Amino acid sequence: MRIDVVTVFPEYLAPLDLSLIGRARERGLLDLNVHDLRRWTHDVHHSVDGAPAGGGAGMVMKPQPWGECLDELVPEDGEARPRLLVTSPAGRPFTQALARELAAEPWLMFACGRYEGIDQRVVDHAAERMEVTEVSIGDYVLFGGEVAVLAIVEAVSRLLPGVLGNAASLDDESHNAGLLEAPAYTRPAEWRGREVPPVLLSGDHGKVDRWRRDQALLRTARARPDLLARLEAGSLDQRDRRL
Ligand code: 6GU
C-alpha cells in the first residue's frame, strides 16, 4: 500500500519510522511518504493560513498550497488516484470497519488539517477528481490531524497482509466482533496475592472460550453499553442471553 501524508509538521509523523510500521516500511509492505505543505508556498513567510471568511476566531488553511500540492502528488494524467482522507473533528467517525475499508485501498493520501480546518473548496475540488472522506478519530478537539493520522495509519497498517507477525490475532478480533476484549493475564500464576483466574490454567479450551466471552460481555455492558445495544440479536448465543 502507498500512503502519502501532507502536513505542516512533518516531524509530528516521526513515530511512523518506529516499531511494526517502521518494519513494514523496511520490508516494502508500506510505501509511506510525508510531505511538508510549505513546499507548495511561494511567499517568504511560507504562509499556509488566513483569517476566516465571515469573521470569527482562529485561522483557516489557504486553498493555494493545498491545491498545488494535490496537483503535483495526483497528476491529472495519472492512472491511479488515491483515496483522500481529510482529518477534521467534523468528519466521519473512524472505526475498525472504516480501517478495514481503507486497508483494501492501494493508495491513501492524508491531508492534515490544522487551525480551524482547510478551506472547504479544496475538499470540494478534490472530490471531483478522487474519492474524498473527511474523517474524525473521536468526539474531542485536537490542534490538528497529525495525531489522528498516526492512529489511522497504525490501525490500517496492522490489517495489511504480512504486517502483523501473528495473523491469528486478527481472526480473534473478528471472532469477538463488536465486543471489548476479555482481560488478559500471564505468568506468574500468583502475583501480590492475586491469582490468574483458575479457568485460564485449566487447559479446558471450551471453558476458557466461554469465560472470555462472558468477561467480554460484562466489560462491554459496563464500559460501552452503546456497543452492546448495537449487537445483532443473532450474534448472541443462548448462554449470552442469560447473562
Ligand atoms: Cl481528525 N482532527 C482534529 N483537529 N481534531 C480531532 C480529530 C481530527 N478527530 C477528533 N478530533
Is residue 41 lining ligand 1, measured as CB closer than 6 Å?
no
Distance in Å, CA 152 to ligand 1 centroid = 11
* SS3 of residue 229 by DSSP: helix
Which pairs from 229-236 meet CB under 8 Å and 24+ separation?
230/178, 231/178, 231/179, 235/177, 235/178
Q: What pLDDT is recorded for position 44?
A: 98
Name the residue ranges covered by the structural domains of the chain.
2-157, 172-242
Is residue 142 lining ligand 1, measured as CB closer than 6 Å?
yes
CATH number 1.10.10.10 given to 172-242: no
Is residue 140 lining ligand 1, measured as CB closer than 6 Å?
yes
CB 113 within 8 A of CB 87: yes
Q: Distance (Å, rounded) from C-alpha 100 to C-alpha 173?
A: 12
Distance in Å, CA 144 to ligand 1 centroid = 6
Please tell me what DSSP assigns to residue 31.
E
- Each residue's pLDDT tens digit, 4-32: 999 999 999 999 888 888 898 899 999 99
Is residue 82 lining ligand 1, measured as CB closer than 6 Å?
no
CB 153 within 8 A of CB 32: yes
Reported ipTM = 0.96
**Which residue is listed with cell 479446558?**
204
- Identify the residue whose C-alpha is closest to ligand 1 atom 6: 89
Report the 3 state secondary structure along 95-129.
CHHHHHHHHCCCEEEEECCECCCECHHHHHHHCCC
In this prediction the pTM is 0.93
Distance in Å, CA 126 to ligand 1 centroid = 20
Q: Distance (Å, rounded) from C-alpha 23 to C-alpha 92?
A: 29
Q: Is the pLDDT of residue 212 over 80?
A: yes
CB 67 within 8 A of CB 125: yes
Is residue 7 lining ligand 1, measured as CB closer than 6 Å?
no
Is residue 61 lining ligand 1, measured as CB closer than 6 Å?
no
- Each residue's pLDDT tens digit, 130-181: 999 999 999 999 999 999 999 999 999 999 998 887 666 776 676 678 999 9
Is residue 144 lining ligand 1, measured as CB closer than 6 Å?
yes
| Phi, psi torsion values for 107, nearest 5 degrees | -150, 120
The superfamily in CATH containing domain 2-157 is SPOUT methyltransferase, trefoil knot domain (3.40.1280.10)
